[in-house]
Amino acid sequence: MLARPAEELAPLLLGWRFRSTVGGRATEVVLAEVEAYSQEDPASHSYGGPRGRNLVMYGPPGHLYVYRSYGLHWCANVVCGPDGYGAAVLLRGGTATEGRPTMTERRGRAEHLVDGPGKLTQALGIDRSHNGIDLLAARSPLRLLLGEAPPGYSITPRIGITKAVDVPWRFVAQHR
DNA sequence: GAGCCGATATTCT
DNA sequence: GAATATCGGCTCC
């Protein structure tokens, strides 16, 4: 299921539930916005071969890749593609479905809880200690669960500058 | 609502 | 030293 290219998996992940029990408190979001990063994408951390922080991306699919963005925020990715291929899907945002009080507490505000990659990780209590964990294992504090697919989605390619590749691709679920 | 900016970790040149 | 897969607060409409 997850051992497929990022750009193929990304839209399929829309509507899936991302559940956290970090700190003994359950929080859950339904994914509504994701972005695909492949090994050939110059913008991807996995570009140029496995080394350093991107090692998790080259590992088996279904694991979590966490990195620090702009020195301030954590961003969560679902590793995909076959084992040995560096690809992942960045979880950009979703809809809070469970544990709103906990998210509000972690975020310090009751609105805009999970409408951005950095916000999503903060609301779910994700940090670097969760890098590399298995999202499919029953005992994991962070789990990916099958949900209901959205009625549709739109693809938003980012307009590149002069580079040939216009990735990353962004997939946004249509709201009902 | 759009646009600038500062904060800060890690990697790469 | 510069760049970066960002956010929130601040301006100025």
Query: Cα separation of A78 and A143, whole Å?
Result: 10
pLDDT at A158: 55
pLDDT at A150: 94
Residues of chain A with pLDDT under 70: 157-168, 176
CA of A118 vs C1' of B9, distance in Å? 14
Residue A52 beta carbon within 7 A of nucleic strand B: yes
Query: Which nucleotide has its C1' atom closest to residue A119's CA?
Result: C7
pLDDT at A165: 47
CA of A39 vs C1' of C13, distance in Å? 43
For chain A, domain boundaries: 6-173
pLDDT at A162: 36
The CB-based long-range contact list for A77-80 (8 Å cut-off, 24+ gap) reads A77/A37, A78/A2, A78/A9, A78/A13, A78/A135, A78/A144, A79/A2, A80/A2, A80/A3, A80/A4, A80/A5, A80/A6, A80/A9
Query: Cα separation of A19 and A142, whole Å?
Result: 6
CA-based nearest residue to A124, from A137, A107, A139: A107
Hey, which CATH number is domain A6-173, 3.40.50.300, 3.90.1010.10, 3.30.9.10, 3.10.300.10?
A: 3.10.300.10
Residue A108 beta carbon within 7 A of nucleic strand B: no
Residue A65 beta carbon within 7 A of nucleic strand C: yes
